[in-house]
Structure 1
Amino acid sequence: MPLTNPWLAGPSPDQDLPRERLEERILNLLSTQNMAVIATVASDGSPAATPVRFYNLALEIMYTSWNASSKSRNLRRDPRVSVGIFAPLVGQASSRGAQVFGTARTLERDDPGADDYWEAFRWQSDHVERGRPVDEPPRDPLTIITPTRIVYTEHWLRRDGYKPRQIWRAPS
């Protein structure tokens, strides 16, 4: 039987991708997807996973959320978070995604440093869709997730002799 992607057959390579190339692949994923599942720790210790639309600034992920939402309440109590981001899956060769582990913080609009994130957050399309003026920025808080570890999976890396699951860690 002919194989469409013969490089998927056989044992998986075990070579690590150089850090700069891994960061480029992660940034490509973050820049080409806009939905993530954010997992927080509920008050009883159970996981609480919520889909959100996100944007990124470098490797940090950001989204808006009301302070009264369960995910915001969970993060105030315990800032640890896990995020799942993935590209649409057509087959094994297209498998591409990231598990992001880190901590979250919420910035109110007037907090120091918030403007840097709001400049990267594309809120204008939301305003247009909802009939709001684009010259009035949102007043919602912005949640920023800073990664400590990212598990990046891309089976296409096997073509070049790299293992399909790569680990990125924040510099110490």
Structure 2
Amino acid sequence: MPLTNPWLAGPSPDRELPQDVLEERILNLLSAHNTAVIATVSADGSPVATPVRYFSLGFEIFYTSWNDSVKSRNLRRDPRVSAGIVAPLVGQASSCGAQLFGTARTLERDDPDADRYWEAVRWQADHVERGRSIDDPPTDPLTVITPTRILYTEHWLRRDGYRPRQVWRRA
């Protein structure tokens, strides 16, 4: 049987990507996708995973959420959070994604810090789809996830002699 990706066979390389290359690949992934699974900690300590549509600025991702949602209540009690983002998977060679580990904060619409994030949210299409006027911007809070560590996985890196899992840490 022919081997379609011979570079996937054998042991994984252990070389680290240069920091600037790793950061570029992470930013590309965050910009090219818009769905993440957010994991929060419930009151009894069990994990709660929720899919969300996110937006990104740099290494931060953010999404709209109601203050009384389960994930928002969990984050008020414990701001630790993990988010998983994955590219469509066709096979081992296409395996690519990131796990973000950090903390979350909620910005109310009137918070001065919220404006810079709201500028990156494409809310107008949602308003049109729901029959709302685009003259009335949303008033929902934003939840911003600031990662301290990102585990980036891309098996295509093996082709160039780099390990498929790379770790980014906030400076």
Normalising by structure 2, we get a TM-score of 0.98
Q: Which amino acid aligns with 2:64?
A: T
Deviations 1:107-134 (A, max 9, x none): 0011021100000111111111111112
2:143 counterpart residue number: 143
3-state DSSP of counterpart to 2:119: helix
Deviations 1:83-110 (A, max 9, x none): 0110111000000001100000000011
Give distance in 2, aligned partners of 1:75 and 1:11: 40
2:40 counterpart residue number: 40
Matched, 1:89 2:89: yes
- Structure 1 stretches lacking a partner, 5+ long: none
Deviations 1:47-106 (A, max 9, x none): 011111111011100000000001000000000000011011100000000110000000
2:56 counterpart residue number: 56
1:102 counterpart residue number: 102
1:73 counterpart residue number: 73
Give distance in 2, aligned partners of 1:135 and 1:101: 36
Q: Which amino acid aligns with 2:136?
A: E
- Structure 2 stretches lacking a partner, 5+ long: none
Q: Which amino acid aligns with 1:164?
A: P
3-state DSSP of counterpart to 1:12: coil
Q: Which runs of 4+ in 1 moved over 2 A?
A: none
Matched, 1:170 2:150: no
Q: Which amino acid aligns with 1:36?
A: A
Give distance in 2, aligned partners of 1:127 and 1:162: 44
Number of positions where the alignment pairs a residue of Structure 1 with one of Structure 2: 171
Deviation at 1:137, TM superposition (A): 1.2
Matched, 1:124 2:121: no
2:111 counterpart residue number: 111
Normalising by structure 1, we get a TM-score of 0.97
Q: Which amino acid aligns with 1:70?
A: V
3-state DSSP of counterpart to 2:68: coil
Give distance in 1, aligned partners of 2:128 and 2:11: 50
Deviation at 1:135, TM superposition (A): 2.4
Deviations 1:20-42 (A, max 9, x none): 11111111111111111000000
Q: Which amino acid aligns with 1:8?
A: L
Give distance in 1, aligned partners of 2:43 and 2:58: 31
3-state DSSP of counterpart to 1:120: coil
3-state DSSP of counterpart to 1:14: coil
1:161 counterpart residue number: 161
